[in-house]
Amino acid sequence: MLVRAIDKFFSHEASGGILLMLSALLAMIVANSALSGFYEGTLATKISVLWDGEGLSKALILWINDGLMAIFFFLIGLELKREMLEGKLKNPSDVVLPGVAAIGGMALPAIVFVLINWNYSVNLTGWAIPAATDIAFALGILALVGSRAPSSLKVFLLTLAILDDLGAILIIAVFYTAELKVDYLFLALAPLAGLLWLNYKGAHRIAPAILLGAIMWYFVLKSGVHATLAGVVTAFCIPLKDKWGKSPLHSLEHGLAPYVLYLIIPIFAFANAGVVLKGMTFGDLFAPLPLGIALGLLIGKQVGVFGLVMLMVKTGMARMPAGATPLHIYGIACLAGVGFTMSLFIGSLSFADPSLMNDVRLGVLSGSVISGIMGYTALMMASRRTEDEAQPAPAE
């Protein structure tokens, strides 16, 4: 009975989002309990991998953010390549509406954040924090609505979120690179050449590509460029088809997805979502940093996504997703404001100061929770309205 219940839970589309939410909630409970010292001390524990004195020595939190998240971005890279070659991003006409929505959904939140934090220069490095969307969380909430929402909405939200992730990858590459060490970047070209050759040859075996990707990850990390980008580059070098017509990319994506969704992302959430509430007042929510993030996710996403979609539809430049109403699109715009994983990740790149990072967590959690609730409510209202309109009028 218990095994059947567990299988049923993990087979549900919303399971990833629910597990993510529980991990964040557990982090908050632990961070504000008697275990807070143990929690913070464990995350600060140095773990070293050295060979003759050379190698890596980092706190556990950095191994999670630089190492495990590279695997997360590796999976995103696999999804992006598959979608570009044979999926939702293959036909340009199918990308126009969610693409414009993604651009608006990244630009407007950043503008809202900058306007609120304009007089606080130390906060401005976090401008990209509210620009991100959490795929797992957003799709999980949409899954809770179930078949009541048009199937086209899932395709629209998934495409929007994938493009959003692509934008986040570019932002990290351009704006969150530390002091650049060119010699290590040159060293990273050697494993990259090997990966390109394996992709060109349509190699069936995945292990050599993973090994080369790990070596490239090390050199990229040492170069100052954020190492998660090595995960994306490695993913793009996994062949879609091998010389026998089989798909290493599909196999790897299918095998890796459960570990990322049910292990890596929850670990990241537990390590990064522990906002400390001690000494905090209600007024702290209105400090520029958390307020800029929360309103960026709330107002920026809604205006950017919903506003541009409706503008495109009203001017005849694009069509509404099949079966969707403006209220459906508004609900999706709200769900795009669930930043969580990606927002916390960009926040960890933006600020090293623990007090500022605590404000980041506060803004991300408050903005994401309210956005999620608003999105779910709007989608349920839209679905009920559609069902009511579909019912035949009573006979007189």
Which tens digits make up the pLDDT trace of 15-70?
777 788 888 889 989 999 999 899 889 988 988 887 766 778 888 888 888 888 88
Contact 148, 323 (CB under 8 A): no
- Nearest CA to 110 out of 90, 95, 127, 94 is that of 127
Distance (Å, whole) CA 262 – CA 324:
31
* Mean pLDDT value across residues 148-172: 83
Q: What percent of the chain has pLDDT over 70?
A: 93
Model confidence at 86, in pLDDT bands (50, 70, 90)? confident
The CATH architecture assigned to 12-386 reads: Up-down Bundle (1.20)
> What are the CB-based long-range contacts (under 8 Å, 24+) for 349-353?
349/172, 349/176, 349/226, 350/125, 350/126, 350/128, 350/129, 350/176, 351/125, 351/126
Report the mean per-residue pLDDT for the chain: 86
> How many beta carbons lie within 10 A of that of residue 150, not counting itself?
19
Only one residue has tokens 């927002």, namely 343
Residues 6+ apart with CB under 8 A from 268: 64, 65, 68, 69, 72, 341, 344, 345
**Is pLDDT larger for residue 91 or for residue 300?**
300
pLDDT of residue 326: 92
Distance (Å, whole) CA 250 – CA 255:
8
> What are the CB-based long-range contacts (under 8 Å, 24+) for 58-63?
60/271, 61/271, 61/272
Q: What six digits make up the tokens of 45?
A: 């524990």
Model confidence at 95, in pLDDT bands (50, 70, 90)? confident
pLDDT of residue 245: 86
**Is pLDDT larger for residue 276 or for residue 120?**
120
Distance (Å, whole) CA 99 – CA 105:
10
> How many beta carbons lie within 10 A of that of residue 315, not counting itself?
8
pLDDT of residue 387: 58
* Mean pLDDT value across residues 349-362: 88
Residues 6+ apart with CB under 8 A from 122: 356
pLDDT of residue 337: 92
* Mean pLDDT value across residues 242-271: 89
pTM of the entire structure?
0.80
Contact 31, 276 (CB under 8 A): yes
